[in-house]
Amino acid sequence: MIWSLFTDLAIATNILSYRSLDFFFTLVILVGLSRWMKRKEPFLGSIFAEFPILNLCVCAFILIAALGYLTYNSTLMSAAEDIFSLRWIAALYASIYLGILLRQASPKWSLTSPLLPFILTVLLLIYLFHPNRDIISSERRLLIFYQNTNHLALALLFPWALYLGNFSLEKKMFSFRTIPCVLGLMLLSLAILFTYSRSAWFGMIIAGIFALVYSRQRLLIYCTMVAVAFCAFCYLTNAFYIQDRVNYTFDFSEASSQNSRLVAWEAYGRMFLEHPLLGVGLENSNNFQTKYYDQMNTPEILRSGHAHNQFLQILAGVGIFGFISYYAIIFTAYIFFHRHFYKAKSESSKKMALAGVLIIVSMLCASITDTPTRIAEGRNYALLLLGLAAGFLKKDDLELRNHEPRKS
């Protein structure tokens, strides 16, 4: 019960401050190690022994990233600091372990906490009725307490996919069980809409299509039709300036963000071609990009701080071998959730598996024009939600295996 409440609080507070999850991940690891040292449970074994392919991919990625840092850092100390920055990988295993604990405590536990809708309700009311610079940007895009409105959108995209995965298998719109899920999905949709982030919008559209394909529920089809009608109305009437934002996508004037992205893609493509094997170090690309912008005679107004494409960012950072190992992790996770969706016997496990699929799909789609896992806000949600779902489902596997009759 305590871990369930603590997890719900962690999911909700990441909206306010991504640093809160650093404390959360650290506490989970310390508790797990403490229980392991007291021989209450096999902390390391319960995590590592059950995910051999994932572990292999993670180890390969860490090794390649470390080699890139050591090769292109000027001092050993700076290389050590960069290698230490890979500690976010430990957060994935902490979340997996927590998912196993929560499955042990409650087989019907759900990630769709009512705390998140409550916090979002408060923030959206402030945004709609008392707008100020702390909540919205100068362009009237939802910002809350983030430094960048796109960061907020990409962070909210993952819990939105989580709520969509849970709602997609429901057969009744309003019931005591589904109200928190419906409310959370509606509020997250509105929040992402008001960020005007086209990368997040694209991730929502493709994830919604995947949800329809996987669930095939009549209720979801009806709700999708209503959502499409609402979006069409907003575009045709330019309600909430949706038409202006969509049309801006096709604006390729000199100072447009589209041109800035194209220039960034070319610069990072050149960076990868010059360092194809190990890259320049996962977070070192910012130190190298000026060189390529200068080669291209790029004006200052078009110079971006990152690749605006997760695939190019990873390629330039860790090279082709790191790219393969990084996306092997994501592909392995997708196969894991896909298989569990079709073989799970309980409804809660099916919802958890579908949520995992949709989180990965939305992340990959948003990665085409942005870098959702480069920023701490989005990475925290991805690690926490995917880790919790994986641990929950793996514990489900272990229990089914233990109940299978042994062959004589």
* Rounded mean pLDDT, 179-183: 86
pLDDT of residue 44: 60
Q: What is the mean pLDDT of residues 376-404?
A: 77
Q: How confident is the model at residue 254 (pLDDT cuts 50, 70, 90)?
A: confident
Neighbours of 67 (CB within 10 A): 20
The per-residue pLDDT for range 215-249, each reduced to its tens digit, is 999 999 999 999 999 999 999 999 988 999 999 98
406 has pLDDT over 70: no
CA distances, 206 to each of 181, 199, 212, 261 (Å): 20, 11, 10, 21
| pLDDT computed for residue 16 by the predictor | 75
Give the pLDDT of residue 153.
Answer: 92
**Nearest alpha-carbon partner for 188 in 203, 176, 175:** 203
User: What does the pLDDT average to over 183-204?
Assistant: 92
Residues in CB range of 146: below 8 A, 6 or more apart: 152, 155, 377
pLDDT of residue 79: 58
Would the pLDDT of 373 be above 90? Answer: no
Residue pair 353/166 in contact by the 8 Å Cβ criterion: no
Q: What tokens appear for 225 in the block? A: 């039709």
Q: Which pLDDT band holds residue 282 (cuts at 50, 70, 90)?
A: confident
10-24, 65-79, 347-361: segment of lowest average pLDDT? 65-79
Could you tell me if 40 and 31 are in contact, meaning their C-beta atoms sit under 8 angstroms apart? no
pLDDT for position 405: 47
Q: pLDDT tier at 80 (50, 70, 90 boundaries)?
A: low
- Residue 133 scores a pLDDT above 70: no
Q: Which residues of 307-336 are buried (b: 16+ CB within 10 A; e: fewer)?
A: bbbbbbbbbbbbbbbbbbbbbbbbebbbeb
Q: Given pLDDT bands bounded at 50, 70 and 90, which one contains residue 331?
A: very high
Determine the average pLDDT of the residues in 77-104.
Answer: 77
Contact 284, 83 (CB under 8 A): no
Give yes or no for a contact between 170 and 162, defined as CB atoms under 8 angstroms apart: no
Does pLDDT of 339 surpass 70?
yes
Most confident of 66-75, 215-224, 254-263, 373-382: 215-224
Q: Is the pLDDT of residue 398 over 60?
A: no
Query: What are the beta bridge partners of residue 142?
Result: 136
- Out of 88-97, 135-144, 229-238, 371-380, which region has the weakest mean confidence (pLDDT)? 135-144
SS3 category, 296: coil
Distance CA 88, CA 232 (A): 40
pLDDT at 337 over 80: yes
| Single-letter amino acid code for the residue at 51 | F
Nearest alpha-carbon partner for 94 in 20, 26, 17 = 26
Residue ranges covered by each domain of the chain: 2-249+308-403
What mean pLDDT comes out for the span 191-216? 95
Backbone φ, ψ for residue 335 (5° rounding): -60, -40
Contact (CB, 8 A) for 80 and 292: no
Percent of the chain with pLDDT over 90: 37
Q: What is the pLDDT of residue 263?
A: 92
- Reply yes or no on whether the pLDDT at 131 is more than 60: no
Residue 356 has pLDDT above 80, yes or no: yes
Looking at residues 67-82, what average pLDDT do you find? 67
- Reduced to 3 states (helix: H, G, I; strand: E, B; else coil), residue 304 is coil
In this structure, are residues 160 and 189 in contact, taking their beta carbons and an 8 Å threshold? yes
Decide if pLDDT at 106 tops 80: no
What does the mean pLDDT of the chain come to? 84
Q: Which residues contact 331 (CB under 8 A, 6 or more apart)?
A: none
Burial of 41 (0-12, 13-18, 19+ CB in 10 A): middle
Instruction: Give residue 51's pLDDT band: very low, low, confident or very high (50, 70, 90).
Output: confident
Q: What is the rounded distance in angstroms from the CA atom of residue 230 to the CA atom of residue 149?
A: 23
pLDDT score of 129 more than 70: no
Task: Specify the range with the lowest mean pLDDT, choosing from 37-46, 153-162, 180-189.
Answer: 37-46
Cβ neighbour number for residue 79 with a 10 Å cutoff: 20
Residue 323 confidence class, pLDDT cut points 50, 70, 90? very high
**What's residue 27's pLDDT?**
86
Asked whether the predicted pLDDT for residue 200 surpasses 90, the reply is: yes
pLDDT of 408 above 50: no
